[in-house]
Amino acid sequence: MKFGVGLPTATAGMMYPTPFATAADVVDIAVEAEQLGYYEVAGNDHITTQQYVRESYPTPPDFFEPLVTYGYIAARTSVLRLLTGILVFPMRQPVLLAKQLSTLDQLSGGRVMVGAGTGAYREEFVASQPHLAKAHRGRLMNESIEAVQLLFRERRASYSGEYVSFDDVEMFPKPVQDPLPIYPAGNADASIRRAARFGQGWLPAGLGPEGIAAGRVKLRQYAAEEGRADVDFAIAPQVMVCLADTTEQAEETYRKSQLFHHLVTLQQSTLKDVSVDSYITNNCIGTPDDVIAKVKEFEAAGAGHLAGIYFAANNVEEMRQQIRRFARDVIPAFEGEQS
């Protein structure tokens, strides 16, 4: 089992209070994550502040662009994988995105992993792309992934779709990795189908081991339908972690955290099929022994990587204490599985 740290590139006001992390904090967390033996960090992607966040905090949150941030982190680390968790493809122009990802993969020596999603907040998409306000984000997402992969694969690429088009683009250098791993994100059936069609992995969120096992069956079925039955898909769920000396303390701390409140706000979007009660049972909340047992359940369900773990904390120091405790008390139970 591999483990990653959710990097607070754009989490203030949602998963964490605002203000939260500075740019220096983000980099320092990534550097320490590598030193502690984590496999990756996962920075998420927001451009503008959501309306409910504006109404909740008097100070706007800082959102650091993940790919630029990773360019700096790549120079400060040597083996840490750089996962976008997630990158909102519909908000990005595909030709430029392909160039950015290939450049980052070159600069990092082949350490980029692309968690790709449609985005939890349609309002953010509409604000940043008003000319596409009526677009079907799922179809736009599919075209964007297909176009980016075409640019990675072909010497000269042209594409003509409903939303994405370009002509005779020769984009070099290509990424170091072939293929550059893309993990379509989301729990919905359409997201699993997208992973089966385009991805090297699947990145669900908020699902417990039973949900992961059921999704794995669908992923295999859909991959066979796409002629990709031979692909060894990585399954990398994003989970929440809160460690404490007792199970009761962990659950109480988690329920009072901004992270828990954020999950509740996603009831109308990416987590609409996930019950509030499951925010405890589906995640890694409890003593180190509780969490080790839960991780083993995820492993038995087919997950090989807990991606971009979000640690319950109300300030950066609390977050770092949780990251350190997880590395000390949980990761050693899975030693030899991080490479």
- What is the residue extent of each domain of the chain? 2-334
Tell how strand 182-184 and strand 201-202 pair up: unpaired
pLDDT band at 268 (very low <50, low <70, confident <90, very high): low
Over residues 153-168, mean pLDDT: 98
* Cα of 319 vs its chain's centroid, Å: 18
**Which residue, 109, 69, 74, is CA-closest to 85?**
69
Around Cβ 289, how many Cβ atoms within 10 Å?
A: 12
Assigned token pair, 166: 């370009």
The whole-number average pLDDT for the span 14-36 is 97
Q: Cα separation of 77 and 308, whole Å?
A: 17
Q: What is the predicted pLDDT for the residue at 267? A: 67
Mean pLDDT within 275-296: 92
Question: Residue 305: is its pLDDT beyond 80?
Answer: yes
Lowest-pLDDT range of 124-133, 232-241, 258-267: 258-267
What architecture is the 2-334 domain classified under in CATH? Answer: Alpha-Beta Barrel (3.20)
- With a CB cutoff of 8 Å and minimum separation 6, the contacts of 42 are 4, 5, 6, 7, 83, 84, 85, 115, 238, 307, 308
pTM to 2 decimals?
0.95
Using 50, 70 and 90 to split pLDDT, how confident is the model at 79? very high
Beta bridge partners of 6: 42
For residue 206, pLDDT beyond 90? no
Q: What's the mean pLDDT in 303-324?
A: 97
- % of the chain beyond a pLDDT of 90: 90
Of 46, 55, 1, which is closest to residue 337 (Cα–Cα)? Answer: 1
User: How far apart are the C-alpha atoms of 105 and 112, rounded to whole Å?
Assistant: 5
Three-state secondary structure of 182-249: EEEECCCHHHHHHHHHHCCEEECECCCHHHHHHHHHHHHHHHHHCCCCCCCCEECCECEEEECCCHHH
pLDDT class for 98, splitting at 50, 70, 90? Answer: very high
Q: Is the dihedral of CA 187, 87, 11, 131 positive or negative?
A: negative
User: What pLDDT shows up at residue 314?
Assistant: 92
